[in-house]
Amino acid sequence: MSLFLHAYSEDLLARAAERCLYHAAAQCPDLSRVVVLVADSLASRALRVQISALAQARGHPALLGLRILTLRAWIDNGIDNGIENGSPDSPDTDPPLSDPARHLLLVDALRQHSGLFGEDDPWRLADSLLELFDELTLHRAELPETAPALAERLAKGYRIDGSAPAALNREAQIVHRLWRAWQEQTAALHRPDPGTHYLHKLQRQHPLREDEPFYILVGLQTFTPAEHEWITARLHAGRAEWLLHGNLPAQHTLADRALNDILTLGTAQYRADDNADNNAIRTFLDSVYPHDDADLRTRAAALASANADSPAPDKLGTLAADSAEQEARAIDLQVRRWLLAGKQRIGIVTEDRRLARRVRALLERAGIVLQDAGGWALSTTSAAACVERWLQSMEEDFAHQPLLDFLKSSCACAEATRSAHLATVYRLEHDIIQHENIARGLERYRRHIEYRRHRLDWPPAIVEPLHALLDRLATAARPLLRMLNRAHPARMYLATLRDSLTTLGVWTSLDGDDAGQRILALWEELDAAAQTLPLSLSWREFRTWFGRALEDKTFRPSLANGPVQLLTLEQSQSLHFDALVCGACDREHLPGKDRISAFFNAGVRRELGLPTWEQRLDLRRYQFRHLLESAPQILLTWRREEQGEPVLPSPWLEALESLHRLAYGRSLEDIELKALTVSEQGAVAPADAAPLPAPPTRPRPRLPADLLPATVSASSHQHLIDCPYRYFAADGLRLSPPDEVRERLQKSDYGERVHRCLEAFHGNVEHLPGPFTQAFSAATRDAAIDLLQRIAHAVFARDLEDNFQHRGWLKRWLVLIPDYIDWQIARAANWRVEQVEAQLERPLENGLTLKGRLDRIDSDGQHRAIVDYKTGYIPAQAAIDAGEAVQLPMYALLGTSAVEHVEYLQLDKQTVRSAGQLSGAAVMELRDAVAARLAATHSALLAGQALPAWGDPDSCRHCPMQGVCRRAAWDNDNNPSTL
């Protein structure tokens, strides 16, 4: 029996390379008589490098016939193994069902037995059942012939005495009936499921052949019973050997429990590590996972007596980060330190993909190339996102968010036309969607293109590309839109999707993208599945099927050569590094949790001979034990909290820390590294040798005379009073935050609608009812209310078309209309409406022009009054009187010298009332004072007066320029000299 146990600190792949060349010595450089079986492709790649280097050192610069692969890949590749698949006597002539075909087949079976599972989603249930059926098949679990017999067996697994409860009978009935239906359907199709197909191949290749190669198995791998039998036959015949990490049975620890079944195959030879330092750390780690029942203090005392000094500090460290970001920065920093120290092979092991992505971003920012072996779901690639956003935009009446995401995708157009395409998309986004506030609808986009063409006299060079783009979208979407409301065969959906993407040019673009090619291959797989099973699906079911297929496929870009590898715990087994970080050593990720299955608990799984969580836990503990000696330097990290919630460390990490603290009186925490994570010394040094800019202070820029606005409005003047810097940025530099499409009305939008209603009511607005031409009195009150209500419904009509929830805003205004009419009747006794929405301008000193729009100008025959409608914030009367709120004085300045009264009319509460005003001499006095201050300020600005940022809470609370002035960076700059 050829079982070889190596110390955990040994490089198992190096030993495997030696054994490979040893067995092929007579034929070298031809290695075709040796096959190396590994757990995954990552180990295969690393071992290939080791074998090539060792062979070259022995005088063989080139090798022939080197085969390193998994057992399943070896069995599936029957032709290379000397088995001619497809021969008349072969039981595996029929190709197996693909995963998409299996989903369709099982969903069809679930439809036929819908009474078994009630309202449960058949697609979600199919996932759980397929996982269960695969395990039943691969582990050759025999289910009883009847559902009651299965219920009895399940009751035994659940440890239920007496008759089985109804829930258990239902579980047995579901599994039994669907398991039988599944087998009958696959048999009727003459298409076995992949597990059955693989077992047939394995059985056919089980007998030993004289020309069979010699096998070297590397590392602990999880094999099914049939695979175990295949391997055992070759081990007993002397045609294979197995290299493993672990201790001999006499020195077994808890971490070695995963080897128990393998070591029953025969006596293992053990190869120890002669390095004394490695022996010391091994003794410590073996004490963490003891083979006896000794308590923690006893083990700690034994360690301290055997080694007075801890063997761990130079080899093993931990770091408890205060946050996820600090943990990522600690890993990034430690990797960079190791690289500077000359480490060539560095591993980052983590089960937390979010942490992995953040670490990758930090390292790439430092110019460090990562080999990411984990990959990610095909659905998360930009190519898949392009397809998904196209389908979403089509489903949601071309809503602007998914539509723009699709149009901006690199797959949405050919590279040669990309510049012109993006220019057209920019026009659509900024001029139509944002400026016109159109959230969805191709026809609405077209209508507003025409509005802007007539209003702004757009030339054909702008209009025609926009219409061409929308026409192409409509043509591509039309066949898909016909599919939305009825069930169709799955293959029809796929063909229509392909035609739609072809019309858009996306299909061609996908063929030029690595992830896109995977999507095209998946489409072929789905099409073949739909051809095998012509099942009719609703649109929602097709989207579920297509989405799950994208989610199930993993996209792995070609690995770049680099010194740092990013991998999972399972991928790390058998590998050896110069240094290694294990991140996210918390309870959630290490050891993790048992997968929640819709069927069977651990007892039932054990009863049926299926793998249990305890077995998986043993395997992960074994893998973690190897990881702790897979490099001369190890760092284990975790974070204390996640989004404000406490995080518990891994029990395996706690065991390490507790034992070390008891034995040697100190923690394994790397205090120096943690301090560096918050120190400037840990930052990436810039390549530019120029000094860093000084910390920002309160800005106080000067506006060049050529940028000083020649016109001033009430709002720009208010900016100057509230905060000079805001005037500098918003009015001088003309900066503004990006427009956002508002699918729901906001308070400011409501105010615009109310202004529009009153303009139509008192004036004359095209396409709206009004104006009211009768005298305002109690006798005409109802007629006035009726007209203003009709105007309101007309003004809000488009908003109700966009979103039914906008009825709340309409109702809010309708409630106020009677109050407004009552106010108007009372006002009509002294004032009549003279102008509405009046655009006025007036020249001031120093070439400055005052411009503004007055909501309403009333007249009593001799004097005028200005009314400003307010549905939002209204300045306090004290601010108006002090000249701090300048809108009313500015409106008085815009009017003639006969302005007697200016006021705000509040339209936002349950009653309509005047909420701020100036009358008589106060109007003229404040008007002239504000005008004089404005002229003096303008002269000072022409002379180069600075425009400082105030930074007070009231000014900054709603200011859109905070990101420009960077108030948060200079908030402590309170020097009066800067103002």
Tell me: pLDDT of 90 over 60: no
Q: Residue 488: which of 440, 452, 541, 418 has the closest Cα?
A: 541
CA distance 201 to 91: 8
Each residue's pLDDT tens digit, 803-828: 666 788 889 999 999 999 999 999 99
Q: Are residues 675 and 730 in the same domain?
A: no
Give yes or no: residues 75 and 120 share one domain: no
User: Does any domain span residue 175?
Assistant: yes
Mark 579-595 as b/e (b = at least 16 C-beta within 10 Å).
bbbbbbbbbebbbbeee
In the chain, the amino acid numbered 821 is I
Q: Please give the full DSSP string across 384-439, using - where no structure is assigned.
A: HHHHHHHHHHHHTTS-HHHHHHHHHSTTSS-GGGHHHHHHHHHHIIIIIIITTT--
The parent domain of residue 118 ranges over 99-187
Give 840's strand partners. Answer: 852
- Cβ neighbours of residue 438 under 8 Å, at least 6 residues apart? 400, 432, 444, 445, 448, 741
Residue-by-residue DSSP string for 824-886 = HHHHTTT-EEEEEEEEEEEE-GGG-EEEEEEEEEEE-SS-EEEEEEESS----HHHHHTTSS-
Tally the domains of the chain: 5
Q: Give me the amino acid identity at 619.
A: L
Cα–Cα distance measured from residue 241 to residue 36, given in angstroms and rounded to the nearest whole number: 10
**Residue 314 vs residues 188, 308, 634, 652: alpha-carbon distances, Å:** 64, 15, 9, 20
Q: What is the pLDDT of residues 98-152, one digit of tens each?
A: 989 999 988 888 888 777 666 677 888 888 888 888 888 999 888 888 888 888 8
Instruction: State mean pLDDT over 321-333.
Output: 94
**pLDDT confidence bin for 905, thresholds 50/70/90:** very high
Residue 953 binned pLDDT confidence (cut-offs 50, 70, 90): confident
Query: What is the rounded distance in angstroms from the CA atom of residue 239 to the CA atom of residue 908?
Result: 89
Q: Is residue 284 part of a domain?
A: no
Continuous segment of H or E residues that includes residue 721: helix 714-722
Percentage of residues of the chain with pLDDT beyond 70: 94
pLDDT number for residue 89: 41
Q: Which residues lie closer than 8 Å to 198 by C-beta, 6 or more apart?
A: 72, 75, 76, 96, 138
Q: 297 in a domain, yes or no?
A: no
pLDDT for 370 equals 86
Residue 162 has pLDDT above 80, yes or no: no
CA 315/CA 487 separation, integer angstroms: 63
More confident: 344 or 561: 344
Q: Does residue 82 have a pLDDT over 70?
A: no
Both 265 and 358 in one domain: the answer is: no
**What would the pLDDT profile of 425-446 be if each residue is shown by its tens digit?**
999 999 999 888 888 899 999 9
Which pLDDT score is estimated for 87?
46
Q: What is the CATH number of the domain that holds 794?
A: 3.90.320.10
- From 252-256, 477-481, 797-801, 863-867, the region with the lowest mean pLDDT: 797-801
| Per-residue model confidence (pLDDT) at position 748 | 77
Q: Domain for residue 691, yes or no?
A: no
**Among 245, 310, 355, 217, CA closest to 12:** 245
Radius of gyration (C-alpha) of the chain in whole angstroms? 38
Instruction: Let me know whether 716 and 781 are in one domain.
Output: yes
Report the DSSP pairing between strands 864-870 and 849-859: antiparallel
Of 882, 924, 883, 884, nearest to 902 by C-alpha is 924
Q: What is the pLDDT of residues 455-470, one digit of tens each?
A: 888 899 999 999 999 9
Q: How confident is the model at residue 86 (pLDDT cuts 50, 70, 90)?
A: very low
The count of other CB atoms within 10 Å of the CB of residue 442 is 16
How far is Cα 492 from Cα 242, in angstroms, rounded to an integer? 51
In angstroms, the CA 821 to CA 911 distance is 11
pLDDT digit string, tens, across residues 8-44: 999 999 999 999 999 998 888 999 999 999 998 888 9
The answer to whether residues 627 and 656 belong to one domain is: yes
**What phi-psi label fits residue 434: left (phi over 0), alpha (psi between -120 and 50 degrees) or beta?**
alpha
Question: For residue 35, what is the DSSP state?
Answer: E
Of 251, 274, 297, which residue sits at a domain end? 274
Give the tokens for residue 236: 């007993």
At 707-716, the pLDDT tens digits run 999 899 999 9
Boundary of a domain, candidates 274, 292, 321:
274
| Burial of residue 953 (number of CB atoms within 10 Å: 0-12, 13-18, 19+) | exposed
What is the rounded distance in angstroms from the CA atom of residue 138 to the CA atom of residue 200? 11
CATH number of the structural domain spanning residue 246: 3.40.50.300
My answer on whether 434 and 543 are in the same domain is yes
Q: Is there a single domain that holds both residue 437 and residue 482?
A: yes
CA distances from 600 to 16, 24, 197, 224, 597 (A): 40, 48, 25, 19, 7
Total-model pTM: 0.77
With bands split at pLDDT 50, 70 and 90, how would you rate the model's confidence at 91? very low
Q: Is the dihedral of CA 273, 278, 280, 282 positive or negative?
A: negative
CB 218 within 8 A of CB 15: no
Greater model confidence, 473 or 797: 473
* Residue 744 pLDDT grade (very low, low, confident, very high; cuts 50, 70, 90): low
Do 633 and 666 fall within a single domain?
Answer: yes
SS3 state at 343: coil
pLDDT value of residue 963: 81
Higher pLDDT, 929 or 374: 929
* pLDDT for 291: 72
For residues 175 and 338, which has the higher predicted lDDT (pLDDT)?
A: 338
- The domain boundary, picked from 555, 577, 612, lies at 555
469 and 526 part of one domain: yes
Q: Are 113 and 178 in contact (CB under 8 A)?
A: yes
pLDDT of amino acid 264: 80
Does some domain include residue 301?
Answer: no
What pLDDT is attached to residue 687? 66
In this structure, are 864 and 769 located in the same domain?
Answer: yes
pLDDT digits (tens, 9 = 90+) for 574-624: 999 999 999 999 999 999 887 777 677 777 778 788 888 888 999 999 999
Please indicate, yes or no, if residue 291 is contained in any of the structural domains.
Answer: no
Report which residue type is found at 174: I
Q: pLDDT exceeding 90 applies to what percent of the chain?
A: 53
- Residues 6 or more apart from 773 whose CB is under 8 A from it? none
Closest CA relative to residue 619, chosen from 158, 128, 244: 244
Give domain status of residue 456, yes or no: yes
Does one domain contain both 212 and 169? no
Burial class (CB in 10 A: 0-12, 13-18, 19+), 357: middle
Identify the pLDDT of residue 604.
Answer: 77
Q: For the segment 402-419, what is each residue's pLDDT rounded down to a tens digit? A: 999 999 999 998 888 889
Q: Which of 29, 249, 133, 215 minimizes the C-alpha distance to 610? A: 133
Mean pLDDT of the chain: 88
Tell me what pLDDT residue 559 has: 65
**What pLDDT does residue 951 have?**
85
Does residue 832 sit in the same domain as residue 903? yes
pLDDT at site 74 = 94
Look at residue 740 and tell me whether its pLDDT is greater than 50.
Answer: yes
The pair of three-digit structure tokens given for residue 420, joined into one six-digit string: 């012109």
Mean pLDDT of 323-341: 95
